[in-house]
């Protein structure tokens, strides 16, 4: 788990690594370049470029690119296009000098980005490496770079960014500015991503996001940090272990409430996901139309008609999950009101439960353990419309504290907010999850983990990570368009095993 830093904190952290390990900035740069190369190696072997062009700026991001060029020369001819400057960093100058013995494999050229006559003669390449600015920009990039970036796009070859696509704002509020950004198909973040990279506005410029480890040292800043970046090892450490003496009575009993007419499938998805998260028993409360489809698919689940006046919850229920396919049925609203007051066990509110909260103004400070799982539109209905994702992020951070609940804000990067003013960013998903029904599985997973006694924050992190990993594993087998929510629960065991084995997918 890595703290998400401001740009100033990241610079101070880099200095902290050097002091803690007794190394120079040049040595740290060399380490970063080698680890970048190792991270890129699988893709390099896949595309087998004959020529690589490395775009280099005058600062230390450019120094990373110059050092990386030496390693890349083992795979292809490399041409380096370095921006002309009178203020190269000392590390940048040292790395340029280190290229001289490789002049037969690496060609170093100096160019001006605002002079097309200089750069348009270098169009022959199979791969661009963007090491121009990274996160080093303290202000938006000048419009002079727009023709240069547009020309690179016309070449039609992939762009891999180091640290951050050049021109991407360091501050989320700067996304409103019209400034050039060199879009990448893949971004290799050194050490950790920048805060601005964790919002939907940045996604079109980043492509696939991969974090390259730099050091085990972690700074502890007295001032506030922006959250935490969750990695595979963090998920692995939190996986619940089934003890040898386990039986159905001590693995939790989850009550799933939803499944109105027309929403029976959502309840089936939630139930299947909960079963594959290892919960001991499941009781489904739904309208009578859900009985046949649910029990035909999951005969392990107990069923009760939530509209029957004599229906009560067994005393040994250990968690509630409400909302999947619930609609606006009067019986469901009764159970929703009951769950609001039932403080002794953890509760998950999703889908139609959230919509009813929004319509009736029911959100108020909760007692006990509560998780809300909105997507952005549901969140806006609950807490007000936000012009930008950064504003929604701030509202979610404040709402989790104010309403004493955990909020799982679902998106391409999902954030988990806690009542203790913590924010966790998770990037385990895939666009393949952009189908109706995906969230119903997540609800069942969360309910199952809470029913098994997993601490609330850990349950949120585990559910989001396992949900995304299962979809990625399906995508690897079938392609991005053929990941069906109805089959996702069956892949949760593979996802669990993947984290157990320490795999990065």
Contacts of 423 by beta carbon, 8 Å cutoff, 6+ apart: 226, 227, 228, 393, 396, 397, 415, 416, 417
Average pLDDT in the chain:
94
Provide mean pLDDT across the span 294-318.
Answer: 94
Q: How far apart are CA 457 and CA 259, in angstroms?
A: 27
Provide mean pLDDT across the span 428-454.
Answer: 97
pTM given for the model: 0.94
Provide mean pLDDT across the span 396-409.
Answer: 97
Q: Tell me the two tokens of residue 420.
A: 């203790």
Nearest 5°: the CA angle 207, 488, 314 is 130
Instruction: Check whether 54 has a pLDDT greater than 90.
Output: yes
Question: Strands across the sheet with 319-322, in order?
Answer: 2-3, 228-229, 423-426, 414-417, 406-409, 370-372, 347-349, 319-322, 253-257, 281-286, 302-305
CB atoms within 10 A of CB 328: 11
Contacts of 257 by beta carbon, 8 Å cutoff, 6+ apart: 284, 285, 286, 306, 320, 321, 322, 323, 326, 332, 335, 336, 339
**168 neighbors 196 (Cβ within 8 angstroms):** yes
Instruction: Check whether 253 has a pLDDT greater than 90.
Output: yes
pLDDT of residue 172: 82
Q: How far apart are CA 213 and CA 440, in angstroms?
A: 34
Instruction: Check whether 254 has a pLDDT greater than 90.
Output: yes
Minimum mean pLDDT range among 117-126, 232-241, 258-267: 117-126
- CA atoms in the 13 A half-sphere facing the CB of 189: 21
pLDDT of residue 109: 95
Provide mean pLDDT across the span 474-485.
Answer: 96
181-214 per-position pLDDT tens digit: 999 999 999 999 999 999 999 999 999 999 999 9
Instruction: Check whether 122 has a pLDDT greater than 80.
Output: yes
Q: Quickly list DSSP for 431-447.
A: GGG-STTHHHHHHHHHH
Q: Regarding beta strands 370-372 and 77-83, do their DSSP bridges make them parallel or antiparallel, or are they unpaired? A: unpaired
Q: Which fold has domain 236-500?
A: 3.40.1190
Considering only CA atoms, which of 205, 410, 394 is closest in space to residue 386?
394
**Residue range(s) occupied by CATH 3.40.1190.20 in the chain:** 236-500
Q: Quickly list DSSP for 179-231.
A: ------SEEEEESS--GGGGSGGGHHHH-EEEEEP--S-----SS----EE--
Q: Tell me the two tokens of residue 18.
A: 């050097």
Superfamily of segment(s) 2-229: YjeF N-terminal domain (3.40.50.10260)
pLDDT of residue 136: 63
Provide mean pLDDT across the span 369-374.
Answer: 97
**Residue range(s) occupied by CATH 3.40.50.10260 in the chain:** 2-229
Contacts of 231 by beta carbon, 8 Å cutoff, 6+ apart: 1, 2, 211
CB atoms within 10 A of CB 365: 11
Provide mean pLDDT across the span 272-294.
Answer: 97
% of the chain residues with pLDDT over 90: 87
Instruction: Check whether 450 has a pLDDT greater than 90.
Output: yes
Helix (H) or strand (E) holding 426: strand 423-426
Instruction: Check whether 175 has a pLDDT greater than 70.
Output: yes
Query: In whole angstroms, what separates CA 6 from the centre of its chain?
Result: 18
| Residue 386 burial (10 A CB sphere; 0-12, 13-18, 19+) | middle
């Amino acid at each position: 788990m890595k703290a998400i830093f401001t740009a100033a904190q990241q610079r101070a952290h880099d200095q902290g690594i050097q002091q803690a390990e007794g190394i120079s900035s040049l040595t740290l740069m060399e380490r970063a370049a080698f680890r970048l190369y190792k991270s890129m190696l699988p893709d390099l072997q896949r595309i087998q470029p004959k020529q690589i062009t490395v775009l280099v700026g005058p600062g230390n991001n450019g120094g990373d690119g110059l050092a990386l060029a030496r390693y890349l020369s083992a795979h292809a001819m490399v041409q380096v296009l370095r921006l002309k400057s009178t203020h190269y960093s000392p590390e940048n100058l040292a790395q340029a000098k280190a290229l001289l013995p490789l002049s037969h494999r690496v060609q170093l050229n100096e160019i001006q980005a605002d002079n097309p006559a200089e750069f348009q003669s270098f169009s022959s390449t199979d791969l661009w490496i963007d090491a121009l600015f990274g996160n080093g920009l303290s202000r938006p990039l000048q419009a002079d770079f727009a023709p240069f970036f547009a020309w690179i796009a016309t070449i039609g070859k992939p762009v891999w960014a180091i640290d951050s696509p050049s021109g991407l704002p360091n501050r989320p509020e700067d996304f409103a500015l019209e400034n050039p950004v060199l879009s990448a198909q893949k971004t290799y973040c050194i050490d950790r991503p920048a805060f601005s990279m964790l919002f939907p506005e940045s996604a079109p410029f980043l492509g696939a996001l991969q974090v390259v480890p730099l050091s085990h040292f972690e700074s502890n800043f007295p001032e506030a940090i922006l959250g935490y970046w969750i990695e595979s090892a963090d998920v692995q450490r939190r996986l619940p272990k089934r003890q040898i003496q386990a039986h159905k009575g001590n693995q939790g009993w989850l009550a799933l409430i939803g499944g109105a007419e027309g929403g029976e499938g959502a309840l089936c998805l939630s139930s299947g996901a909960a079963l594959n998260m290892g919960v001991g028993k499941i009781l489904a409360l739904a309208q009578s139309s859900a009985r046949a489809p649910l029990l035909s698919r999951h005969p392990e689940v107990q069923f009760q008609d939530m509209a029957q006046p004599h229906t009560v919850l067994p005393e040994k229920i250990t968690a509630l999950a409400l909302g999947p396919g619930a609609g606006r049925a009067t019986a469901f609203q009764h159970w929703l009101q009951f769950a609001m007051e039932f403080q002794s066990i953890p509760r998950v509110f999703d889908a139609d439960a959230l919509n009813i909260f929004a319509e009736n103004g029911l959100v108020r400070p909760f007692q006990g353990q509560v998780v809300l799982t909105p997507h952005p539109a549901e969140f806006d209905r609950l807490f007000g419309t936000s012009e930008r994702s950064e504003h929604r992020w701030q509202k979610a951070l404040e709402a989790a504290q104010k309403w004493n609940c955990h909020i799982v804000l679902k998106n391409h990067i999902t954030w988990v907010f806690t009542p203790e003013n913590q924010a966790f960013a998770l990037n385990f998903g895939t666009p393949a999850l952009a189908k109706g029904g995906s969230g119903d599985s997540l609800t069942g997973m969360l309910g199952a983990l809470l029913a098994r006694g997993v601490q609330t924050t850990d349950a949120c992190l585990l559910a989001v990570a396992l949900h995304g990993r299962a979809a990625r594993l399906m995508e690897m087998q079938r392609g991005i368009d053929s990941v069906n929510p109805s089959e996702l629960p069956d892949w949760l065991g593979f996802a669990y095993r993947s984290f157990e084995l320490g795999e990065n997918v």
